[in-house]
Amino acid sequence: MQRIKEKSYQAVDYLFWIFLILFTNPGGIFQALGEDTSRSGTIDSFDFLFLLMFLCFVFIFKKAKIYSTTYNSILKIIIIFGLYYLIVYGFLIPTLKENPGYTPLGFYKKSRKTVYSLALFLMVYKFYVRSHKIFFKVLVSSSVMVLTLFFITFLTGIDILPIRTHSRGFIDVDRVFIASEGIMQLLIPIGVVIITFKSRVSWKFWSLLAFFMMFINYVLSITRRDIIGTFIYFLIAIVLHNYFLNKPLLPVKKILTTAIYLLIFGFFISLAFPKYYEAGKKGMEEAVHIVQYGETTSGKKDVRMGLGKGFMQNLIVSNIWFGTGFDNRWRGSGDKEGYETSDYPFLSALAMMGVFGVLVFLPVYVLVIRTLIIDIRFLKNNAVDTSSYQFKILMVFIVYMTYDMLQYMNWFLPVSLSRSIKWYVMTSMYLASREVFYNYFRQNHQLKIENNNNGSNYYTELQPE
């Protein structure tokens, strides 16, 4: 009987992760099935999938305990932010300001996915602590399938998954986009950690395959920040690796070795997709020029390097404390449709939520940064088993979160686009991976104490909770 129960719990774990992957819509599978995902006010498949995930959560609720005080502290702040979002931003301010087209019912219908994001922060944590190995298995296998279908669609023209194309402007080849990445960007830090830390995990081959396929996707989309971001991921991982081993933080040999591997991989990409390879090179040159001079090589200013558009600055000044409140124009992605929330997340957050709204969420960032620093110091100062699976998955999220924090333009993205499911899911997984690692570390340390009279000197500090 007990065995049947355990198998049923494991089946629910698989179902939850499958539902979550589908919920993030990798490859635009819902568009491929004919669903219009742009109508945020109507009930759709995402609502049904969330209901299924919630039922899975109810099933395992008593089986999943939370011991992390750090996670509990951040969860409380996010709950407070959620209440602020729904009551102040979603009801009080837009009612007082008489925002055009605003109705309470319309707001709550269109913002239900914000509630889903906040709820997933809780649900994902509990499932990850229980079944993180199942998560990685489902993520990697589903990503390989989706990316394979994407490449088949691109190469053959067979209508399997939707593909978006867009002119880059400074090159004569169209960018090719997968309709939705879901949470597949996690494949990049997974591959980086496996390569940098020489990981031996059961899913190594498939993870590296998924990593390379994801990078090829970035090349086809000619997305400069993602192509350069892959190199930054490697740099972060190499610096941390050497920091833990008390070696020079920027080892010339290791950086050159990694560069050679990437050049070899780049050579094969240049043979398979020569136009996109050249476009990617030019795109990176443009990115470096923009950072260096604030404009493209043709002299075009990049407004994202400044303080946004003039009307955004005016909105911030005139609504400085409580923001504009919910205004449907914020949901657009361009000047004609909205307020460019995708390019200016912090400015958008400040304009929409005001100083008070941003301050409500600020402690989350303070705690996340503090936790990253504590973890990095702990891994350096203690005799950690760097070959362990638990260490590797913690490093994946440390590298991912460090890179996320370095992207200053994306700060407060979960506020300006608080339906940003990926941010809440990834942050929850980072905090959950800590609990998995520190539980493993304490068990290992206890064995050291039992087998060694000097075991009490095995580490210099307890789990930082």
The rounded mean pLDDT for the chain is: 79
> Looking at 15-19, 160-164, 182-186, 265-269, which range is the least confident one?
265-269
Of the candidates 338, 447, 435, 357, which has an alpha carbon nearest to the alpha carbon of residue 82?
Answer: 357
Is 306 a residue whose pLDDT tops 60? no
Q: Which pTM value belongs to this model?
A: 0.84
| pLDDT per residue as tens digits for the range 49-82 | 999 999 999 988 777 667 788 999 999 999 999 9
- Token pair, residue 130, equals 């229980």
Cα(402)–Cα(331) distance, integer angstroms: 28
The angle that helices 274-293 and 204-221 make with each other, rounded to 10 degrees, is: 70
Residue of 344, 342, 295 whose CA lies nearest to 315: 344
Q: Any idea of the CA torsion for 361, 136, 129, 10, to the nearest 10 degrees? A: 130
Residue with tokens 């994306």: 410
pLDDT exceeds 70 at position 227: yes
In percent, the amount of the chain with pLDDT more than 90 equals 33
End-to-end CA distance of the chain: 37
Is 174 a residue whose pLDDT tops 80?
A: no
Tokens coding 462: 């307890």
Give the pLDDT confidence score for residue 336 in this predicted structure: 47
Q: Taking the CA atoms of the chain, what radius of gyration do you get in angstroms?
A: 23
* pLDDT of 370 over the 90 cut: yes
Identify residue 300 by its one-letter amino acid code. K
Q: Tell me: the pLDDT tens digits for 258-280?
A: 667 666 666 666 555 666 555 55
* Per-residue pLDDT tens digits for 419-450: 678 999 999 999 999 999 998 888 876 555 44
Position 244 pLDDT exceeds 50: yes
Distance CA 282, CA 431 (A): 38
Task: Name the strand (E) or helix (H) holding 15.
Answer: helix 2-23
Give yes or no for a contact between 336 and 390, defined as CB atoms under 8 angstroms apart: no
- The rounded distance, in Å, linking the Cα atoms of 164 and 259 is 31
- Helix ranges (H only) for 307-420 are 310-318, 345-381, 389-406, 413-416
Q: Which residue has the higher pLDDT, 454 or 297?
A: 297
